Chain A
Amino acid sequence: MSDPLSRRTLITTGLAAAAGAAGLGIAARLADRYALIPPDDGGIFGVGETVTYAAQRLLTRHTLAREYNRSDISKIAPVKGPPPEDETYQRLSAGGFADWRLKIDGLVARPSFFSLDELKRLPSESHVFHQACEEGWSFIAEWTGVPLSYVLNLVGVLPQAKYVVFFGFDTNFDAADKQTIKGKWNSIDMADAWHPQTLLAYGMNGRDSLPAGHGAPLRLRLPRQLGGKSTKYLSWITLTDTVKDIGQGFGAGGVERGFSWYAGI
Chain B
Amino acid sequence: MAETAYLPGLEIRSSDSLDSPRHSAVVRITHWITAASFIALLVSGIAILIAHPRLYWGETGGVGTPSLIDLPIPFMIGHSGWGRYLHFLSAWIAVFTGVIYALFGFLTRHFRRNLLPAKADLAWSRISRILWNDLRLKRPAEEESLTYNAVQRLAYLAVVFVLFPLVILTGLAMSPAIASVVPVLRSGFGGQQSARTIHFFVALALVLFLFVHIAMVCLAGFMDRMRAMITGHGAVGKEPS
Known: A4-B1, A138-B62, A140-B60. A132 touches B174 (CB 8 A): yes
Contacting residue for A48 out of B51, B62, B88, CB 8 A: B88
Q: Are A60 and B51 closer than 8 Å at their CB atoms?
A: no
| CB neighbours of B80 from chain A (8 A) | 134-135, 259
Please give, as numbers and ranges, the residues of chain A lying within 8 Å of B231 by CB-CB distance.
none
CB distance from A168 to the nearest CB of B (A): 20
Interface of A, secondary structure class, is loop
Q: Which of B59, B60, B180 contacts A60 (CB 8 A)?
A: B180
Q: Convert B37-55 into 0s and 1s, putting 1 for each residue whose CB lies closer than 8 angstroms to a CB of A.
A: 0000000000011011010
Contact A265 B174 (CB under 8 A): yes
B84 interface contact, C-beta 8 A: yes
> Are A45 and B85 CB-contacts (below 8 A) given A51-B92, A59-B181, A138-B59?
yes
- The interface size bin for chain A is 35 or more
Q: Within the complex, what minimum Cβ distance (angstroms) separates A263 from chain B?
A: 8
Interface residues of A in 205-246 (CB under 8 A from B): 223-226
Q: Is the CB of A65 within 8 A of B179?
A: yes
Docked-complex contact B88 and A66, CB < 8 angstroms: no
Q: Which residues on A sit within 8 Å (CB–CB) of B125?
A: none
Whether B4 contacts A4 by the Cβ 8 Å rule is: yes
Whether A52 contacts B92 by the Cβ 8 Å rule is yes
Chain B stretch 146-186: residues in CB contact (< 8 A) with chain A: 174-181, 183, 186
Q: Which residues of chain B are near A132, meaning CB under 8 Å?
A: 174, 176, 192
Residue of A135, A137, A223 near B176 (CB, 8 A) is: A223
Counted as pairs of residues, one from A and one from B, with CB atoms less than 8 Å apart, the total is 124
Taking the complex as formed, is A194 at the interface, i.e. its CB lies under 8 A from any CB of chain B? Answer: no
Cross-chain contact of B192 among A75, A134, A138 (Cβ < 8 A): A138
Is B180 within 8 A of A64, CB to CB? yes
Please give the distance in Å from A177's CB to the nearest CB on chain B: 26
Give bound CA distance, A233 to B90, whole Å.
35
Kindly list chain A residues whose C-beta atoms are within 8 Å of the C-beta of B2: 2
Taking A2-B1, A4-B1, A136-B48 as contacts, is the C-beta distance between A44 and B84 under 8 angstroms? no
Which residues in window 53-90 of A have CB below 8 A to B? 56, 59-60, 63-66, 68, 72, 74-76, 78
- The minimal Cβ–Cβ distance linking A265 to chain B, given in whole angstroms, is 4
Shortest Cβ distance from B14 into A: residue = A3
CB atoms of B60 and A138 under 8 A apart = yes
Task: Say if the beta carbon of A257 comes within 8 Å of chain B.
Answer: yes
Residues of chain B within 8 A of A63, CB atoms compared: 177, 180-181
Complex formed: what's the CA distance from A167 to B33 in Å?
42
Interface residues as binary, B1-17 with A (CB distance below 8 Å gives 1, 0 otherwise): 11110000000000000
Closest A residue to B193 using CB positions: A138
Please indicate which of the listed interface residues B2, B54, B60, B90 has the most CB atoms of chain A within 10 Å of its own CB.
B60
Q: Chain B: how many interface residues by the 8 Å CB criterion?
A: 41
Q: Does B104 contact A (CB under 8 A)?
A: no
Q: Complex Cα distance A139/B52, Å? A: 14
Residues 65-100 of chain B, each 1 if its beta carbon lies under 8 Å from chain A, else 0: 100000000000100111011101111100000000
Interface contact B81-A257, CB-CB below 8 Å: yes
Contact status B82-A258, CB under 8 Å: yes
With A224-B180, A225-B177 given, name 13 new contacts (CB 8 A). Answer: A4-B4, A48-B91, A56-B175, A59-B181, A66-B186, A76-B65, A136-B196, A137-B52, A138-B61, A139-B62, A224-B177, A259-B84, A265-B177
Q: Which B residues contact A (CB, under 8 angstroms)?
A: 1-4, 48-49, 51-52, 54, 59-65, 77, 80-82, 84-86, 88-92, 174-181, 183, 186, 192-193, 196
Binding site for B on A (CB under 8 A): 2, 4, 44-45, 47-49, 51-52, 56, 59-60, 63-66, 68, 72, 74-76, 78, 130, 132-140, 223-226, 254, 257-260, 264-265
